A and B are shown apart, each in its own frame.
Chain A
C-alpha cells in the first residue's frame, strides 16, 4: 500500500476504513471541540482502499474513544476499524462492533416518545436486525434504520 500523506501520531486513535465521505460525521461523533487544544486531528478523505475501493481515515492525537462513541461510529460507519496508538505503535486494533443495546447514542425519531420529553433517562435502543442494521426504541418500539440525522 502506498505511503499516506498523514504524519504518524505518538499517542492517540486511528479510525481507518471509514466509508467514503463519512469522515466528517465521525469527527462530529468524536466531538473535535472537546479535544485537548494541543492535539492534532488529521483527516484523509477519498483514499484508495483494497477492501472498500475508497475510504476515509481520521487520526486523533492524545485521545481514546469512549465505548459510547465507538457504538455511534459502529452505526454510522460499520466498516471502520479502530487502532489505539501508544508511543507510535499500534497497541490494539479492532473492528467496530455493534452491541445488542445502544444507550444514549441516538434520539428516538418518534417525537411523541417518552424518551424525548425531558425525562431523566437516556435513549435506549435494541438491535432488531443486524444486516442491514435496524434498531428498535426500548421505550416506544419505533424502528430506526437511518442514524445520521438521529445522533444524540
Chain B
C-alpha cells in the first residue's frame, strides 16, 4: 500500500487504511506546519497549482504546505490570465503542466475536470475541487479535525446542516464517515436536500443515516455539527437563492442544549450561518479545521510525491 505517484481525485480513491495513514502523517506534521520544527521533505520538488476557480484557503494552504516542506510551487491563480482564456482545452493545459512540475493540484469549475486531468497528466493530480463534484483534501482535513477532537472517528454522531445538495464537502465527507461507522444526521432546507444518488450510495455502503427537521433537537446528542454555506454561485436563478439564503443560523442559544464536547465545523467561508458569538466558545472548531488543512496537505504531498510521511 503506497500513495506514491497516485492521483487523488475522489475520497473514494482511498481505502480506510490509506485515509488512516494520511491522518497519522498529518498529526506528525503539525509541529512543522506551526513552524516549530523544519523539514526539507519536498526539497527539489516543484508542484504546479492550477486554480481555475477562486479559492483562498485551499490554494494558500497548498502553497504553505509545499513551502513548509522546503518545496517550491508555480501557481495559476487567475484563469483569465491563462491560455485557457484563448480557448485552450484543459486537457492540453494539463498535459503541458505535467511536463513542467512533479505534480498538479487542480481546482476547476467543471465536475469531472480532475478525472480528465489525471488522464492527461503523467504526474500525480490532486483534486482541489471540481465544480459541485469532489474535494477530497477538504474531506481529509475534516476527518483530521474530528480525529483530533475525539481521538477516533468510529461511532461519532455527525449532524450536517445546510446545503446538502450542492455542498460537495458534504458528499465526500459523508461517504468517508460511513467507512468509519459514524452516524449521520441530515438537516437542510427542503430544496437543498442530499441528492438521491448520494443517499443511495450511502445506504448501499451500509451507512447509518437519518434526517432531522429541527436542528435544536438534532444538536442535543451530536458530537459534531457540520455547517455549510449556501453557495450562491451554484444557483442558476437568483430568486431560488434568495428563498433559502439565511434560512438557518447557529448561535449560542442553539448550542446551549448541546453536549459540552460538541464541535462546530464549517468549511468556510461562512456568510452568516454561524454567529460570531460562537467563535469564543469551546464548540468552535472551524478555524482549527482551516489550520489543519496545512498539515493534512503536507502529509498528502509528502506521501504522494516522495512516498514518505515527512
Residues of A within 8 A of B (CB): 108, 110, 112-115, 117-121, 137-143
Q: Using Cβ atoms and an 8 Å threshold, which residues of chain A touch B8?
A: none
Contact for A139 among B92, B116, B197, CB less than 8 A = B116
Instruction: List 27 contacting pairs A-B, 8 Å CB cutoff, sorted by A.
Output: A108-B112, A110-B111, A113-B111, A113-B112, A114-B110, A114-B111, A114-B116, A115-B116, A117-B90, A118-B89, A119-B89, A119-B91, A119-B116, A120-B89, A120-B91, A137-B112, A138-B112, A138-B115, A139-B112, A139-B116, A140-B115, A140-B130, A140-B131, A141-B10, A141-B111, A141-B112, A141-B133
- Size category of the binding interface on chain B: 20 to 34
Does B77 count as interface, using CB distance less than 8 angstroms? no
Chain B residues whose C-beta falls within 8 Å of the C-beta of A121 in the assembled complex: 91, 116, 119
Tell me, yes or no, whether B132 is within 8 Å of chain A by CB. Answer: yes
B302 to chain A, nearest CB (A): 28
Residues of B within 8 A of A118 (CB): 89
A98 to B115 CA separation, bound complex (whole angstroms): 23
CB distance from B181 to the nearest CB of A (A): 23
Using CB atoms, name the residue of chain A closest to B10.
A141
Residues of A within 8 A of B112 (CB): 108, 113-115, 137-141
A114 → chain B closest CB, angstroms: 4
Residues of B within 8 A of A114 (CB): 90, 108, 110-113, 115-116, 130
Q: Which residues of B contact A137 (CB under 8 A)?
A: 112
What distance in Å separates the Cβ of A124 from its nearest Cβ neighbour in chain B?
Answer: 9
Cα–Cα distance between A107 and B130 once the two chains are bound (Å): 19
List of A residues within 8 angstroms of B116 by Cβ = 114-115, 119, 121, 139
Are A112 and B115 neighbours in the complex by a CB distance under 8 Å? no
Give Cα A140–Cα B168 distance, bound, in whole angstroms: 12
| 1/0 contact string of B99-128 vs chain A (CB within 8 Å) | 000000000111111011001000000000
Residues of B within 8 A of A110 (CB): 111
Q: Looking across the interface, which residue of chain B has its beta carbon closest to that of A141?
A: B133
- Please, which residues of chain B bring their CB within 8 A of the CB of A112? 109-111, 131-132
A18–B24 Cα distance when bound, in Å, is: 56
| Bound-state Cα–Cα, A141 to B131, Å | 12
**Chain B: minimal CB distance from A147 (Å):** 16
Seed contacts A114-B108, A114-B115, A141-B134; 14 additional CB < 8 Å A-B pairs: A112-B109, A114-B90, A114-B110, A114-B112, A115-B116, A118-B89, A119-B91, A137-B112, A138-B112, A138-B115, A139-B113, A141-B10, A141-B112, A142-B197
With both chains docked as a complex, state the minimum distance between the C-beta of A132 and any C-beta of chain B, in angstroms: 13
A18 to B132, CA, bound (A): 38
Nearest to B131 among chain A residues (CB) is A112
> Whole-angstrom distance between the alpha carbons of A138 and B132 in the complex?
15
Most buried by A among B10, B109, B119, B197: B197
